[in-house]
Structure 1
């Protein structure tokens, strides 16, 4: 099952009303993505929590005076924004008093003074950072190389599918799924050459699905047929010649 990408998870975590029905449905059936989503939601909730500022002291006017002087700001914003209207910045030692200016009148708050804006911005930054860490630490997802639809043979009616996936380390596996187990003996999974002259057993499937390691060096083009056989318990390792389902892998 393919997992949600970091962008989808971040949007779902940041916006509870984000319209992504498929993504939310995936979260209900994928424990791994649900765990990542829950971690991101905790980050968002923590950032959105209004900090307790009751114990913080307000810096004096000299702090803004220094900022104003170092940044070379305009005279219109000379007054300390944390003080009342008309308050002028404190003079630095040894400096002449600045010329009189008109009383400061309250203006619309800048974006950095609006609580909702900086909280949203902080949440976005935290989510981007968390998403980057999550991507770098989460194992790479397998790549699908080929797939096949499995159809019944002879007196059987089971159907299913098969796919070959490659892991990050280069190893490959064949995933087989049937809608039922119809074996009278037991099911064995094979890869077979197009002319049916050569075959490789991948293992026994004890239920209606299973995953099997594909031998290193085996070329899928040489063995593209997926076969699930009905094998009697007779100690003979050869194919019984009785196949339940069969299909050809295509990329």
Structure 2
């Protein structure tokens, strides 16, 4: 008989042995090329099993499977019940070590496969591996959300404009909320002087008061906003050039400054 259809080989690798009849399974046991193909599919499934089995995942909404299906051109239904995780289904796949260990050399009755058919099988293998990879990435997002890890929420942002003595400098500031904490993320593009350092400040809108957030080391930094700072009052973000003289006050040499506006 001819080689197993690639779709059937993929189903067998995923544990759907009922999809094959006795003659096809007998062919699989005798054909090194088909055995190698099933083993390759099983390896992709095994990689996903290792990535997903460490902890339970949230059940994804239907739109997630629809997006993955559209990406790889799959038209079937979702492969898991609402109460099961991807790891549960991958764990049900049979061990394929005997097939993977089948010698790859020529055997009696073995036959060659047309180059176009091999290319088609290889393309399907890549598609299956891609589907597993996408599912693993999405699952990682579910795990992170289930563990309470939150992404920053941008509350306000500011464009930092240059002062006359620092022509060409520019920057940006983002005010973020991270799990109830407030931080300012500053990026700065400006020439670097030979000495001194740069400091990030929050300044009251009327210029009557200011709070140091810390030293900007490099072109980007994240700074925690101290508790008690009224961000309705301290709306200006300033980056200054400071001398290494031990004086904690603002030098008066601002590089850039901008007002935070609601995002």
1 CA distance for matches of 2:237 and 2:152? Answer: 20
Q: CA RMSD in A?
A: 3.8
Aligned to 1:182: 192
- Return closer, same or farther for 1:129/1:243 CA change in 2, 3 Å cut-off: closer
Alignment of 1:4-83 (within 5 A): 13-14=68-69, 16-17=71-72, 46=90
Gaps of 5+ in 2: 1-59, 74-85, 97-131
Runs of 4+ aligned structure 1 residues displaced above 3 Å come to 6-16, 42-52, 126-135, 180-184
Q: TM-score, normalised by structure 1?
A: 0.50
Match of 1:200 among 208, 211, 215: 211
2 CA distance for matches of 1:179 and 1:9? Answer: 39
Aligned to 1:146: 156
Gaps of 5+ in 1: 1-5, 19-41, 53-122
Confirm or deny: 8 A CA contact 1:171 1:216 kept in the other structure. no
1 CA distance for matches of 2:139 and 2:206? Answer: 54
The structure with more radius of gyration: 1
1 CA distance for matches of 2:140 and 2:196? Answer: 51
Note the C-alpha offset of 1:135.
Answer: 3.2
**Which of 1 and 2 has higher RCO (CA within 8 Å, sep 6+)?**
2
Q: Which has the higher helix share?
A: 2
- CA deviation vs aligned residue, 1:175-223 (integer Å, no higher than 9, x gap): 0011245345210000001121210011011111101110112111111
Q: Do structure 1's residue 244 and structure 2's residue 258 form an aligned pair?
A: no
1 CA distance for matches of 2:72 and 2:238? Answer: 47
Give the total of aligned pairs: 151
- SS of the residue aligned with 1:155? helix
- SS of the residue aligned with 1:220? coil
Q: TM-score, normalised by structure 2?
A: 0.48
1 CA distance for matches of 2:91 and 2:214? Answer: 51
